[in-house]
């Protein structure tokens, strides 16, 4: 480990709260995002305990509405959307492209403070009256009739939106203007491509939910009529405006995770990734096409056949680039030298679970099926497979993969593998029964259900308790490893990205001198500096910039 | 990151820094397009649904004040562009002068908006309990209408009421959008005014030269964007059904 | 950003064009072109906006990347408007879907 690095370069709380170092800001985000993950997880726990029995004895129906709403709001806006970009993206994009920091370090810090302020408003809402509108805030329930603390929540999410927008702005500009000499677009790691695509959505989508929630909040505060039929307003207008952002938002949640997988798979298959330019292009394609499909959330609102057909067809189209990625990751594994390190376990799990989640999305995009499956547990299972089985596994896998770089230490490998398997098992036990429940007709957002659905609900809750263990274990041993873990060295895996040429942990300015890039990405056959030569891959870690 | 002269530590060259600032501001403006775009969409849907009410609402707006404000704001864009030019050719005093002119014109715009808003308040056209689209045709003296204006106005309102029995609610929707859109725009102008003040202070200290004038250019881009929003707001809000 | 310095003369010409455009918009608004009134109004506004973007904001002299950002912003706004309107225009009449307003404010003084 280097003597002076970004963690010990300066001391004191002010040096953290007023830092402009992207790596420290990433850790500030890690702390805040983990906190919100716990809050969201708490609500999930209460939901699953309540749903153990058909009578719904744990909480009142009104309270149940608040539980699923607050779970959704916390997890979507304060965990899933920022997790990979604001933590792993912030930390890694500059070293990956050979830069000393992002383009706008102070705006990066501002993003974090905006996140905290937005989160505070939402927590205030949760503790003073809660929120019972669903994370989708459909009007006029949210803007007129709800008796919950809607206004502060809506204000909090509005504010938080600017945190996303500024992060996206920072990433786009950084990737365009701050690349080191020789780091051409097609030498960029796919993680960077993924974040570039994500940032397009941040910039062009988030402002729309900002103005939408602003209008809904104004309607609630001043009794205006934008979305209230009693005053001539239109709830469908709200839904269009809401989903214009919130559908692309799900691509914000998955693209970064796909970027993580694209880094892990070649490393632990010891092979260049298959079809680099197709994976890069598919990230952009997902970001663009994803903006054309939002009204598939509105199939049951009275859309004409023509409108429904077009959105259905476009929704099928947007699945194609995702499928391209799955094919390419799988092809990368073929004839690779596979090792089952913890990050690889998460990546392999991701591929399988994302496949199920993505394909069930196509079930829902089919008009004839959606009529029956809309607003059932099928939808809930579908998006949890992608968000948890996909995005969260990508996040946890990414944390493990880059943990040695971030902290300079290794986590305990055996325990980590146990945790990964636990998470995988727990996850499937929690959510697969929900596909069956939805198929059998159990509606979502209902506080009780007919007795014949109890078996699957009990399985789901049992799975949730195993899943919780799968999350707790890494939190414990990752924290433990900061002090007691083995020293990692600059490149323990070894992997080929430019970030692995920095020290572990990196210097504040990442590189002593701006590097010059002369190699292709994922070139496991030809990296002498990593001890990898064609035909004889070596496991010896390389010497970095110590 | 430390800074040497004008160069911030994360950059290699001033050229890279300038390129970065420019792309950053344009990307920010792209996001603003979508931000305003949402409320423009709400306007479009509602105008199509309630064209009579929108016409009546629009005709209560003072076209002279609106037109004058349009001229003022476009003029302020000219002075802003001139300020950037002055920096490029090294005429430091002109930079400050044009910035001050831009700020003054911006303040005129905001002052006129205050006058207009006050007028709406007096005429019971603020959305809420006392909103009444027929107030002026029923109380002409209170609204400063006289003679032929009064008769035409009353006839128009009656015709609209016949076409749309819920005229008052729908007109209220128009005014919610009017205040929402012009209010959001005015808020952006206030922020712009603050930025101009900061620029004037720096310019006064002689900070902007042909080799370093990025802040002037960037804030200029922002100011022009705010002008563009108004270029759309003026016809959409003030000029509906004027030919009746 | 290019170092191309736009001479003040161009700015004044653009300003005058914008004044002409504003006058035209107002004059056209007082003529009855039926459903074309809105098209004319938006058309003139778009020409004015383009002049501001191209000359005051120097887009004409900027790198391709800047032009791409502008095109994308406008295009994305277009997606939002076009697809939403395509849904609205293919639905049934609005009155059959909504409650009629139940809040009737008292008219007259």
**Residue with more model confidence, B153 or B30:** B30
Cβ–Cβ below 8 Å for C84 and B239: no
ipTM of the complex in this document: 0.95
The verdict on A178 touching C (C-beta cutoff 8 Å) is no
Q: Is residue B114 part of a domain?
A: yes
Who among A231, A303, A310 is closest to C101 (CB)? A231
Q: Which domain holds residue B214?
A: 21-48+62-119+168-238
Peptide bond into A505 cis (omega under 30): yes
Per-residue model confidence (pLDDT) at position B243: 84
Q: Which residue of A has its CA nearest to C99?
A: A229
| H or E element in which residue B92 lies | helix B92-122
Q: Using CA coordinates, name the residue in chain A closest to C90.
A: A304
Regions in chain A scoring below 50 on pLDDT: 535-546
Mind giving me the DSSP string for A261-313?
Answer: HHHHHHHHHTSPPTTHHHHHHHHHHHHHHGGG-GGGG-GGGT--HHHHHHHHH
CB-CB neighbors (< 8 A) of B168 in chain C: 104-105, 107
Chain B touched by A176 (CB under 8 Å)? yes
Assess if residue B72 is contained within a domain.
yes
Q: Does the distance separating the beta carbons of C73 and B34 come in below 8 Å?
A: yes
Q: pTM of this prediction?
A: 0.95
Interface contacts A/B by beta carbons within 8 Å: 112
Our CA-based measurement puts residue A211 at a distance from the nearest CA of chain B, in whole angstroms, of: 6
Please indicate whether, in this complex, the C-beta atoms of C104 and B234 are within 8 angstroms of each other.
no
pLDDT tier at C95 (50, 70, 90 boundaries)?
low
**Burial status of residue B118 (CB atoms within 10 A of its CB: 0-12, 13-18, 19 or more):** exposed
Question: What pLDDT is attached to residue B145?
Answer: 72
A176 touches chain C (CB under 8 A): yes
List, for residues A344-379, the tens digit of each pLDDT value. Answer: 999 999 999 999 999 999 999 999 999 999 999 999
Over 60: is that where the pLDDT of C16 sits? yes
Q: What is the pLDDT of residue A212?
A: 98
What does the domain layout of chain C look like in residue ranges?
Answer: 8-63
Q: Nearest to residue A362, comparing CAs of A301, A325, A312?
A: A312
Q: Do A208 and B176 touch (CB under 8 A)?
A: no
Res C108: pLDDT: 36
Query: Is B106 part of a structural domain of the chain?
Result: yes
Decide if A406 contacts A352 (C-beta within 8 A): no
B117 touches chain C (CB under 8 A): no
Chain A hits for B128, Cβ within 8 Å: 222-223
Which of B16, B23, B26 is best to mutate for the C interface (most C CBs within 10 A)? B26
How far does the CA of residue C61 sit from the closest CA of chain A (Å)?
19
Contact B235 C70 (CB under 8 A): no
In a domain, residue B207? The reply is yes
Q: Is C1 in contact with B217 (Cβ distance < 8 A)?
A: yes
pLDDT of the residue at A530: 67
* Closest-CA distance of chain C to residue A169, Å: 12
Residue in B30, B45, B89 closest to C5 by CB: B89
pLDDT recorded at residue A532: 60
Mean pLDDT of B137-166: 82
**pLDDT value of residue A535:** 46
The pLDDT of residue C96: 57
- From chain B, the residues in CB contact with A23 under 8 A are none
Burial environment of residue A254 by CB neighbours within 10 A (0 to 12, 13 to 18, 19 or more): buried
Cβ contact, residue pair C101, A232, below 8 Å? yes
Cα–Cα distance measured from residue A276 to residue B231, given in angstroms and rounded to the nearest whole number: 45
**Domains present along chain A, CATH in parentheses:** 13-530 (1.20.210.10)
Please give the residue of chain C at the shortest CA–CA distance from A203.
C73
Residue A182 Rama label (left phi>0; alpha psi -120 to 50; beta):
left
Neighbours of C, requiring at least 3 CB pairs below 8 Å, are A, B
pLDDT in tens, A75-93: 999 999 999 999 999 999 9
Q: What local confidence, expressed as pLDDT, does residue B87 receive?
A: 96
Indicate whether C109 pLDDT > 70. Answer: no
User: Residue C101 has which token pair?
Assistant: 């307003």
Q: Which of B15, B32, B176 to mutate to test the interface with A (most CBs of A within 10 A)?
A: B176
> Cα–chain-centroid distance for residue A493?
24
Sort strands B3-4 and A486-487 into parallel, antiparallel or unpaired: unpaired
Residue of C nearest to A308 (CA): C87
Type and span of the H or E element at B4: strand B3-4
Give a yes or no: residue B105 inside a domain: yes
Distance from the Cα of C26 to chain B's closest Cα (Å) equals 7
According to the model, what pLDDT value does residue A413 have?
96
Nearest-CA distance C101 → chain B (Å): 7
- Does A140 sit behind a cis peptide bond, omega within 30 degrees of 0 on the bond before it? yes
| CATH number where B69 lies | 1.20.120.80
Under 8 Å CB-to-CB from C49, ≥6 apart: which residues? B228, B231, B232
Chain C contact for B239 (CB, 8 A cutoff):
yes
By C-alpha distance, the chain A residue nearest C82 is A292
Q: How many domains does chain B have?
A: 1
**Contact residues on chain A for B50, CB-CB shorter than 8 A:** 232
Asked if the Cβ–Cβ distance from C87 to A232 is below 8 Å, we say: no
Chains touching A by CB (3 or more pairs below 8 Å): B, C
Whether C76 sits inside 8 A of A291 (CB atoms) is: yes
Question: Is B155 domain-assigned?
Answer: no
Q: Report the pLDDT value the prediction gives residue A536, as an integer from 0 to 100.
A: 44
Indicate whether B102 belongs to any domain: yes
pLDDT in the model for residue B153: 77
Contact C29 B242 (CB under 8 A): yes
Interface list for A 355-414 with C (CB within 8 A): none
Answer yes or no: is pLDDT of B142 > 90: no
- Indicate which of A231, A241, A298 best probes the interface with C, i.e. most C CBs within 10 Å of its own CB: A231
pLDDT score, position A500? 93
Cβ contact A254:A296 at 8 Å = no
A19 contact partners, CB below 8 Å, separation of at least 6? A25, A28, A109
Identify all chain A residues contacting B38, using CB atoms and an 8 Å cutoff: 207-208, 210-212, 215, 241, 244
Pick the residue from chain A with its C-alpha nearest to C91: A304
pLDDT, position A525: 72
Quick one: which of A101, A176, A192, A92 has its CA closest to A501?
A92
Q: Which of B56, B228, B237, B241 to mutate: most C Cβ within 10 Å?
A: B228
Q: Which residues in chain C are closer than 8 Å to B141, comparing Cβ atoms?
A: none
Q: pLDDT grade, residue B148 (50/70/90)?
A: low
């Amino acid at each position: 480990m280097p003597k002076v690095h970004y963690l010990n370069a300066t001391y004191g709380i002010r040096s953290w709260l007023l830092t402009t170092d992207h790596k420290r800001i990433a850790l500030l985000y890690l702390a805040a995002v983990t906190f919100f993950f716990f809050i969201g997880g708490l609500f999930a726990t209460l939901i699953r305990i309540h749903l153990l029995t058909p009578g719904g004895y744990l909480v009142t129906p009104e309270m149940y509405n608040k539980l699923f709403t607050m779970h959704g709001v916390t997890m979507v806006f304060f965990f899933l959307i920022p997790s990979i970009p604001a933590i792993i993206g912030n930390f890694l994009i500059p070293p990956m492209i050979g830069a000393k920091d992002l383009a706008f370090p102070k705006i990066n810090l501002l993003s974090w403070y905006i996140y905290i302020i937005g989160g505070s408003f939402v927590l205030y809402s949760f503790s003073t009256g809660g929120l019972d509108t669903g994370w989708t805030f459909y009007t006029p329930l949210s803007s007129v009739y709800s008796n919950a603390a809607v206004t502060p929540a809506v204000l909090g999410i509005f504010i938080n939106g600017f945190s996303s927008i500024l992060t996206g702005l920072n990433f786009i500009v950084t990737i365009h203007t701050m690349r080191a000499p020789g780091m051409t677009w097609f030498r960029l790691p796919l993680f960077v491509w993924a974040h570039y695509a994500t940032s397009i959505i941040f910039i062009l989508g988030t402002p729309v939910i900002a103005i939408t929630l602003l209008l809904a909040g104004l309607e609630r505060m001043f009794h205006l009529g934008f979305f209230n039929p009693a005053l001539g307003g239109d709830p469908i207008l709200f839904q269009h405006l809401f989903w214009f952002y919130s559908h692309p938002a799900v691509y914000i949640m998955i693209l970064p995770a796909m970027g993580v997988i694209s880094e892990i798979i070649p490393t632990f298959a010891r092979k260049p990734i298959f079809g680099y330019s197709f994976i890069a292009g598919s990230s952009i394609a997902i970001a663009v096409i994803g903006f054309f499909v939002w009204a598939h959330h509105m199939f049951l609102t009275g859309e004409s056949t023509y409108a429904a057909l077009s959105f259905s067809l476009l929704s099928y189209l947007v699945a194609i680039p995702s499928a391209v990625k799955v094919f390419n990751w799988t092809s990368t594994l073929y004839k690779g030298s596979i090792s089952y390190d913890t990050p690889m376990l998460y990546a392999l799990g991701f591929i399988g679970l994302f496949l199920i989640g993505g394909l069930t999305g196509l079930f829902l995009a089919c008009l004839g099926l959606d009529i029956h499956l809309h607003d059932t547990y099928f939808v809930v299972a579908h998006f949890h497979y992608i968000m948890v089985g996909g995005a969260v596994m990508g996040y946890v896998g990414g944390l493990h993969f880059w943990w040695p770089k971030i902290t300079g230490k290794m986590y305990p490998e055996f325990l980590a593998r146990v945790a990964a398997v636990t998470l995988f098992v727990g996850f499937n036990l929690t959510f697969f029964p929900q596909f069956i429940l939805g198929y059998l007709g159990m509606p979502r957002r209902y506080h009780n259900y007919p007795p014949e659905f109890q078996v699957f609900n009990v399985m789901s809750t049992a799975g949730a308790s195993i899943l919780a263990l799968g999350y707790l274990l890494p939190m414990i041993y990752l924290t433990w490893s900061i002090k007691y873990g083995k020293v990692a060295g600059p490149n323990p895996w070894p992997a080929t990205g430019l970030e692995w040429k920095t020290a572990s942990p990196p210097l504040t300015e990442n590189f002593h001198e701006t590097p010059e890039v002369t190699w292709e990405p994922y070139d496991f056959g030809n990296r002498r500096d990593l001890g990898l030569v064609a035909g004889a891959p070596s496991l010896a870690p390389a010497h970095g910039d110590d | 990151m430390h800074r040497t002269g004008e160069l911030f530590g994360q950059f290699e060259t001033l050229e890279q820094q300038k390129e970065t600032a420019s792309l950053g501001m344009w990307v920010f403006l792209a996001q603003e397009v979508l931000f305003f775009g949402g409320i423009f969409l709400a306007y479009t849907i509602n105008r199509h649904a309630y064209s009579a009410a929108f016409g009546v609402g629009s005709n209560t707006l003072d076209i002279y004040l609106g037109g004058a404000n349009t001229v003022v704001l476009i003029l302020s864009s000219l002075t802003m562009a001139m300020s950037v030019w002055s920096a490029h050719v090294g005429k430091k005093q002109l930079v400050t002068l044009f910035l001050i002119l831009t700020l003054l014109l911006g303040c005129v715009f905001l002052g006129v908006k205050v006058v207009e808003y006050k007028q709406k308040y007096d005429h019971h056209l603020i959305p809420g309990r006392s909103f009444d689209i027929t107030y002026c045709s029923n109380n002409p003296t209170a609204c400063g209408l006289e003679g032929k204006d009064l008769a035409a106005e009353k006839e128009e309102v009656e015709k609209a009421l016949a076409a749309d029995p819920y005229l008052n609610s729908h007109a209220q929707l128009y005014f919610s959008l009017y205040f929402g859109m012009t209010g959001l725009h005015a808020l952006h102008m206030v922020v712009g005014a603050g930025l101009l003040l900061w620029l004037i202070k720096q310019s006064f200290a002689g900070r902007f030269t042909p080799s370093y004038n990025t802040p002037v250019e960037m804030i200029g881009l922002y100011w022009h964007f705010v002008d563009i929003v108004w270029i759309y707001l003026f016809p959409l809000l003030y000029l509906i059904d004027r030919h009746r | 950003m290019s170092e191309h310095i736009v001479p003040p003369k161009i700015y004044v010409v653009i300003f005058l064009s914008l004044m002409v455009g504003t006058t035209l918009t107002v004059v056209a608004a007082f003529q009855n072109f039926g459903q074309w009134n809105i098209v004319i109004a938006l058309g003139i506004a778009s020409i004015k906006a383009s002049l501001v973007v191209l000359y005051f904001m120097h887009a004409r002299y900027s790198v391709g990347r800047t032009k791409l950002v502008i095109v994308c912003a406008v295009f994305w706004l277009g997606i939002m408007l076009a697809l939403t309107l395509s849904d609205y225009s293919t639905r049934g009449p609005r009155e059959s879907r909504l409650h009629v307003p139940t809040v009737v404010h008292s008219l007259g003084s």
